[in-house]
Chain A
């Protein structure tokens, strides 16, 4: 979990304002407090990212989630400065990213970051292998070497046999594999995903999500993943940042968001989630009452509710949630049924 290691990316007070005299908005307390409509009327500006701060730990999958227009795509583009932030600080591996000049920025993009796009952004006039090798090519890598490297990555993402095809001869899922391969080919430290699977069919989307999980296990890169799909966020994300109107609403692990929503917006957002698959016992345990028998089965607090359901229902005594020999709380039928019933009610 973050905190123990020095962060790869560290964002503080980041603003991105579009419009005339954009830089004035974050500076002025009055303007920065305005809502979207008022800001537009007063200054003609739109604040896509408002005062966002977070850290991303090495190897973490950090998901930014929000509905369209929430500023999440702008935020991720600020991280590799495809979009220039208006104010704030941005540190990458200890380096002030906003101070980097064009040449340094290019170097970072070539060696450290890469990005996967919603609409793939492939070069239609090049074959798959040439697309994958493009990033290596612009670094100045020789043809033989880059082709060899590209073929390795093509194999990694399961595209072997398609390397001679042109992008428009492939299905959407396959095209995104090309995008993924291109991003991986440069062996970057950080991968940015901008809603990479939202244009795909549900089944293919699930395959691709699993693919990302598999790759994460194999290559262990830090990933920043943008999505508007909560189940995708919960499935992939170590931690999730929820954005609304450019503002950070809440950051936390999946069970934190579901178990302790910061406000009604998040609560509403997570209401459809199958809570028993997200929440762990620590979110539903209660302090033992005097009449509770304290000799039921023992479970860890990180056990998911749906995994504990059978144990709890089978036992006639509440189970004990223990850690290091200490009793944290108990969970009885009532608590379990509370979670399960909420799901049935919700659906």
Chain B
């Protein structure tokens, strides 16, 4: 989890097209040009307000949307005759379903003709502890055991196992596809070039967008959930594996070739073993991504903790939702720590004394035997199979208490802080959000289009400007220009807030080890806690408004921005800081003149990642009053008439993502290039 951000950040910085040696005129006065463009925009807005805005009513659809509906219908009808279904989709579905059901029958659901899963709770705990110990170390093994028992005490054993089973299945499939692809991309520049934009797309696309269409192809059930998860979780494995292969020292590869290795010997004898640690890091990222996606897949009936969260929200039962959310956070912590320990295993093994090495097989054997005994017990006896639950409790030993505490905290907050949050919301909406939104939504489309292209050119480069033009053209094609602008306004405001918080907290953490130690776990938890858990309290505090959606997005995206800034500050070379100190720099000067400028790349990256995370919350925002594209997607998910419109809205979100991603990356490439010179 500590490295969750790498899932998205490990994308190699977009090939920074070096700024031309003799820059265009604007290069020198970038700030002034931006201000000028915005000024012209405001004037045009005032003159042409509310004309050519391409507004589409919430209940209306365009021909394109209806045509997508028709396509959906024909897919629906052709499911048993279309060869693509017969030989591709259905096959994939069957294999994945079988895999998932097998894993689930092992640990989660009654199967194999038994009233309970093959392994009861005791068996699972034993196996998990043994694996964590054998592949990791004793500490993570204890942690894993404690957390798994806690699942039982929370009254969520079965759901936790459902989630684990689905996560494992999805991770397995992701790695089966991701690692070979990653190796290939690591070996071949061409494959890498082709894959990179595809992976960008997969990671920018909001998860909600493809959930509904997936059920069209793979039906409701494990297959759809696993494939949805795959789309989200495989990219980090591919990227990080490729990165690992690429980072193997060329001399090592050359040495192997010079000794007469075949390509296969070099691959399996050198590249993969040397990149192993990095690849395990990729596996870690994939697991974390899969876990968060499996939770969301509850929307298409994926079993597990996500269901509890969603169900609890139908009755606004924040306590119960939090109880399940806590399980998810704990599961994430365990999976993260265990895989991290696995990646460190190599180093640990090296430091072992010869006696320890000699002893290890016996210890492992004893552990395996104990595990087998536990497995047998849990296979045979009901008490070790089904986690016992006290009479009359709905959630088990501690679940009720967790829920109650979360409930009272929420109630207190909702009763006592509303006056604060409401005025905060009103002021921010009136002074920040509304002006931006008016400017974007009420200006004629061609004005916004031109401004966006010019700004992309100034902030980024020509390629970014072309991307912007293409993306906006597609947005116009979706028929959702106006909604897109509303969403863009919210996204921009949320991103600015995210970056502000990122800088403030990040600088603090970067400069103080103590602050870092205290805050980082909170950030880790915030990143894996399903956003659904805190939506209800937010609605209570801020009402169902656009601002609520912005707050939710900021809460979701701030951790990554904070971490990136903190790491950037920390990575400023100690020598530079020392030199600045010896020149008599004050603390504030140090931050402003030394640390922030030197961490500039990290800042740009934080902005970029903040944007991507904010975008992925657009749809969630639609659930709590943000309207616009988010609402369109949700409506498309829920109502057959709006299926096409929802898909188009999803596409518009992706276009926003690609556009903003490219522009910020181009900007970062530019600053990177400038620094080198």
Contacts and interface: CB of A to CB of B under 8 A. Distances in A.
**Do A and B share a direct contact in the complex (Cβ within 8 angstroms)?**
yes
A120 B258 CA distance: 12
For this complex, into which size category does the number of interface residues on chain B fall?
20 to 34
A117 B255 contact: yes
B363 to A, nearest CB: 22
A123 B252 contact: yes
B254 A109 contact: no
A221 interface: no
B297 to A, nearest CB: 37
Interface stretch (A86-94, A131-139, A252-260, A265-273): A131-139
A166 B276 CA distance: 16
B269 interface: yes
A106 interface: yes
Interface in B316-366: 346, 350
Contacts of B251: 117-121
A139 B258 CA distance: 13
A332 interface: no
B487 to A, nearest CB: 46
Interface in A100-158: 105-111, 113-115, 117-126, 134-135, 137-139
B262 A106 contact: yes
A105 B263 CA distance: 13
Contact of B258 (A82, A111, A119): A82
Contacts of A125: 273-274, 276, 346
Best-surrounded residue of A108, A111, A123, A166 (most CB of chain B within 10 A): A123
A123 B259 CA distance: 13
A115 B260 contact: no
Interface string B235-277: 0000000000000010111111111111001000110011010
B350 A166 contact: yes
Contact of B273 (A115, A123, A166): A123
A192 B261 CA distance: 17
A138 B259 contact: yes
Contacts of B276: 125
A80 interface: yes
B351 to A, nearest CB: 10
A108 B260 contact: yes
A173 interface: no
A interface, over-half SS: mixed
A108 B260 CA distance: 7
Interface in A176-208: 179, 182, 186, 192
Contact of B252 (A82, A115, A122, A137): A122
A117 B253 CA distance: 11
A138 B258 contact: no
Contacts of A120: 251, 255
Contacts of A135: 259-260
B129 to A, nearest CB: 27
B539 to A, nearest CB: 53
B261 to A, nearest CB: 5
Contacts of B258: 80, 82, 109, 113-115, 192
B260 A109 contact: yes
A340 B112 CA distance: 95
Contacts of A182: 255, 259
Nearest to B255: A121
Contacts of A121: 249, 251-256
Given A125-B276, A166-B350, A138 B260 contact: yes
B269 A138 contact: yes
A117 B254 contact: yes
B261 A138 contact: yes
Contacts of A126: 273
Interface in A230-254: none
Best-surrounded residue of A113, A117, A118 (most CB of chain B within 10 A): A117
B344 to A, nearest CB: 14
A124 B255 CA distance: 13
B263 to A, nearest CB: 9
Given A110-B259, A125-B273, A125-B276, A138 B265 contact: yes
Contacts of B350: 166
A123 B274 contact: yes
B268 to A, nearest CB: 11
Contacts of B346: 125
A249 B292 CA distance: 65
B256 A134 contact: yes
Given A124-B274, A125-B274, A134-B269, A139 B260 contact: yes
A119 B350 CA distance: 23
A258 B261 CA distance: 41
A110 B273 contact: no
A298 to B, nearest CB: 50
Nearest to A136: B259
Contacts of B260: 105-111, 135, 138-139
A240 to B, nearest CB: 23
Contacts of B273: 123, 125-126
A135 B257 CA distance: 10
Interface in B255-310: 255-262, 265, 269-270, 273-274, 276
Nearest to B252: A121
Given A124-B274, A125-B273, A125-B346, A186 B252 contact: no
Given A117-B251, A117-B255, A134-B256, A123 B270 contact: yes
B255 to A, nearest CB: 3
A82 B256 CA distance: 11
Contacts of A111: 260
Contacts of A106: 260-262
Best-surrounded residue of A106, A111, A118, A139 (most CB of chain B within 10 A): A106
B48 to A, nearest CB: 50
Contacts of B256: 121, 123, 134, 138
A197 to B, nearest CB: 15
A196 B276 CA distance: 27
A110 B346 CA distance: 30
A134 B274 contact: no
Contacts of B265: 138
A114 B259 contact: yes
A109 B274 contact: no
Nearest to A110: B260
B371 to A, nearest CB: 28
A182 B260 CA distance: 13
A134 B253 CA distance: 13
Interface in A311-335: none
A7 to B, nearest CB: 21
Best-surrounded residue of B253, B260, B270, B274 (most CB of chain A within 10 A): B260
A138 B261 CA distance: 6
Nearest to B258: A115
A122 B261 contact: no
Contacts of B254: 82, 115, 117, 121
A186 B260 CA distance: 11
A179 B255 CA distance: 9
A122 B259 contact: no
Interface string B530-563: 0000000000000000000000000000000000
A77 to B, nearest CB: 8
A296 B255 CA distance: 57
A124 B265 CA distance: 16
A138 B262 CA distance: 8
Contacts of B253: 121
Given A117-B254, A124-B274, A125-B274, 10 more contacts: A109-B259, A115-B254, A118-B251, A121-B256, A123-B269, A123-B273, A126-B273, A138-B262, A138-B265, A138-B269
Interface of B: 249, 251-262, 265, 269-270, 273-274, 276, 346, 350
Rank and list the top 9 A-B pairs by shortest CB-CB distance, nearest first.
A121-B255, A110-B260, A109-B260, A121-B251, A135-B259, A119-B251, A115-B258, A106-B260, A121-B252
23 contacts: A80-B258, A105-B260, A106-B262, A108-B260, A109-B260, A111-B260, A115-B254, A117-B251, A121-B253, A121-B255, A121-B256, A122-B252, A123-B269, A123-B270, A124-B252, A125-B274, A125-B346, A138-B265, A138-B269, A179-B255, A182-B255, A182-B259, A186-B259
